Amino acid sequence: MMRAKPSVFYLVFISAVLLAGFPAIGAEKLSMKDAVARALSQNPLVSEAALNIASQLHKDIAVHRERFGSLSIDYNYNRSKDPPYMTVNTPAFGGDFETGKRDDVIWGISAKVPIFTGFDISTREAIERLGVDVKKVRKKEVELDVAAAAKRAYLTVLLAERNLNTAEDADKRLTAHLRVAKALYGQGMTPYNDVLKAEVALSQTQQQLVARQEELGTARAGLNLVMHEKDIEKTYELRDPPEDNQATMEPGLNGLFKKSLANRPELKAISLAIDQARLKTTLARGKVLPKIYLVGRYEQHGEDLLANKNIFDNQNNLYTGINMEWLLFDWNRHGQEEAAIEKDVMALKKARDAALDNIRLEVRSAWGRLRAARRNIETARLALAQAKEDLRITRLQYGQQVASATDVIDSETTLTKVMNNYYKTLYTYKMALVDLDRACGILDVDEQR
């Protein structure tokens, strides 16, 4: 009976898949710290946050410069159908006398400097300065998110590499088992269906190998995108980070709560927004106060385009004075604005309470997953050792015709599942470390701490 042999094309295809799972020879080394640093320097979300700070700084400067006043120029040209005139009737003489020309040009330069604006400028300055602080806090929040995303993407690639290695090991073991099954069949010691079972198991493993390869490619693309690399297929030589972080150094859950409440930028942003809202109350109240300006104006009046010719009155003049604006009645609009701001403050306080609850839940969730994963690592490691030993014994028994081919394949399948579960547990623990750092508002990425 003819025994099935894998084709040359199939072997070449599988070899290509296996080789694709490894980083390219001479691939760039990349630590988690390097990945986070690149993400923070290159990710467009961080750049956007930095630009928002720069924009807010310009707004702050713009309001401050209102203190220096303004300088403006105006130009007016009018042409009348008839020249203006004045009628005079006296006992001595009478008649119509021209008082100007048909062409009338007035241009001037005006300066206006605020003396008192009802605290409008000073209050808006304070609001814009707080706006700068808000943008900086938001940038810190974006940096925390990007750093955590980079860490998760880094760990996802490592897990995908481990899963691919597991699939490769399973492929090698089942390939070896197929050779043993064929040899025993050739000696008449086992039925042909043992060979068929081995070939089916190997085929399924090779399909899983291709799937794991694609998972690794997707994970690498995710890491490259977080770092904003142009080549999303770029490969790196990664290494596992240590299994600790700053957050886990805190003594217990209450210590983690305190750290998160002190560090989380969301809470700082809400507090700053409350301060801004209270300043807007001062702004609304200031609308009923007088606003006083020092004004000055140079003016020319004439009949030509530059107003240089005037035979009827002063061709130029200079004015200085005080200008006051005082709102006496506005149907209590400013009172309604104050009431609206007060409601905004109350809403912000409720948002802060909700944020506090969410932060506590995030910390508790990450801490719980961390403890569960930490306990499960040893269990998974013990199960892995047992699965390896079970497979070793089953192989020996199969060679001695004590165990069946199904027993060997079952042991192979169990070992693959247990190994995948071990790596999943290990990287669940590492992911929980990342999540706990993020929940506590920790940005430090020093791997040597």
DSSP-based three-state secondary structure for 329: coil
Which sign does the torsion angle of CA 401, 404, 410, 416 carry?
A: positive
Lowest-confidence pick of 110-124, 246-260, 329-343: 246-260
Cα separation of 209 and 16, whole Å?
11
Q: Is residue 157 part of a domain?
A: yes
pLDDT of 431 strictly over 80 = yes
Q: Is residue 29 part of a domain?
A: no
DSSP-based three-state secondary structure for 181: helix
Together in a domain, 194 and 286: yes
Together in a domain, 263 and 375: yes
Domain boundary among 305, 325, 345: 325
Identify which of 293, 287, 283 has the alpha carbon closest to the alpha carbon of residue 329. Answer: 287
Average pLDDT over residues 281-298: 92
DSSP-based three-state secondary structure for 346: helix
Q: Is residue 83 part of a domain?
A: yes
Conformation bin of residue 28: beta by default, left when phi > 0, alpha when psi is -120 to 50: beta
Average pLDDT over residues 130-150: 96
Give, in degrees to the nearest 5, the angle at Cα 240 between 234 and 245: 120
Global pTM reads 0.81
Query: What are 188-238's pLDDT values in tens digits?
Result: 888 888 889 889 999 999 999 999 999 999 999 999 999 999 999 999 999
Identify which of 109, 152, 127 has the alpha carbon closest to the alpha carbon of residue 60. Answer: 127
**What is the secondary structure of 198-242 as a DSSP string?**
HHHHHHHHHHHHHHHHHHHHHHHHHHHHHTT-S-TT--EEE-PPP
Together in a domain, 226 and 265: yes
Q: Is residue 126 part of a domain?
A: yes
Together in a domain, 181 and 167: yes
pLDDT of 152 strictly over 80 = yes
Residue 80's domain comprises: 69-116+291-325
Q: Buried b / exposed e across 77-108, counting CB within 10 Å, b at 16+?
A: eeeeeeeeeeeeeeeeeeeeeeebbebbbebb
pLDDT of 33 strictly over 90 = yes
Together in a domain, 424 and 388: yes
Identify which of 152, 161, 237 has the alpha carbon closest to the alpha carbon of residue 433. Answer: 152
Q: Is residue 444 part of a domain?
A: no
C-alpha 121 chain-centroid distance = 33
Together in a domain, 366 and 241: yes
Q: pLDDT value at position 180?
A: 86
**Is there a contact between 285 and 270 (Cβ–Cβ < 8 Å)?**
no
Together in a domain, 383 and 272: yes
Together in a domain, 192 and 299: no
Share of the chain above pLDDT 70, in %: 90
Report the domain count for the chain. Answer: 2
Distances in Å between the alpha carbon of 399 and those of 168, 181, 396, 430? 23, 9, 5, 41
Query: What are 310-338's pLDDT values in tens digits?
Result: 887 888 899 999 999 998 888 888 889 99
Domain boundary among 276, 307, 325: 325
pLDDT of 11 strictly over 60 = no
Q: pLDDT value at position 23?
A: 52
Q: Is residue 447 part of a domain?
A: no
Give the CATH number of the domain where residue 143 resides. Answer: 1.20.1600.10
**Is there a contact between 160 and 229 (Cβ–Cβ < 8 Å)?**
no
**Is there a contact between 94 and 257 (Cβ–Cβ < 8 Å)?**
no
Q: pLDDT value at position 287?
A: 86
Name the pLDDT band for 304 (thresholds 50, 70, 90). confident
pLDDT of 302 strictly over 50 = yes
Q: pLDDT value at position 4?
A: 41
Together in a domain, 61 and 84: no
Alpha helices in 43-191, H assignment, sequence order = 44-64, 120-186
Cα separation of 232 and 222, whole Å?
8
**Is there a contact between 215 and 160 (Cβ–Cβ < 8 Å)?**
yes
Q: pLDDT value at position 181?
A: 86
Distances in Å between the alpha carbon of 383 and those of 198, 394, 409, 423, 428? 24, 16, 18, 12, 17
Together in a domain, 155 and 181: yes
**Is there a contact between 238 and 165 (Cβ–Cβ < 8 Å)?**
no
pLDDT of 26 strictly over 90 = no
Number of other residues whose CB lies within 10 A of the CB of residue 235:
19
Number of other residues whose CB lies within 10 A of the CB of residue 429:
20
Identify which of 162, 224, 279 has the alpha carbon closest to the alpha carbon of residue 27. Answer: 224
Share of the chain above pLDDT 90, in %: 63
Q: Is residue 192 part of a domain?
A: yes
Give the chain's mean pLDDT: 87
Name the pLDDT band for 355 (thresholds 50, 70, 90). very high
Together in a domain, 352 and 244: yes
pLDDT of 16 strictly over 50 = no
Structure tokens of 330? 């506005």
Domain boundary among 271, 302, 325: 325
DSSP-based three-state secondary structure for 33: helix
**Is there a contact between 280 and 127 (Cβ–Cβ < 8 Å)?**
yes
Together in a domain, 224 and 261: yes
Q: pLDDT value at position 243?
A: 61
Identify which has the larger pLDDT, 303 or 152. 152
Cα separation of 169 and 295, whole Å?
86
Long-range contacts of 398-406 (CB under 8 A, 24+ apart): 398/180, 399/180, 399/184, 401/189, 401/190, 404/194, 405/181, 405/190, 405/193, 405/194, 405/197, 405/198, 406/197
**Is there a contact between 205 and 10 (Cβ–Cβ < 8 Å)?**
no
pLDDT of 353 strictly over 90 = yes
**Is there a contact between 232 and 219 (Cβ–Cβ < 8 Å)?**
no
Q: Is residue 412 part of a domain?
A: yes
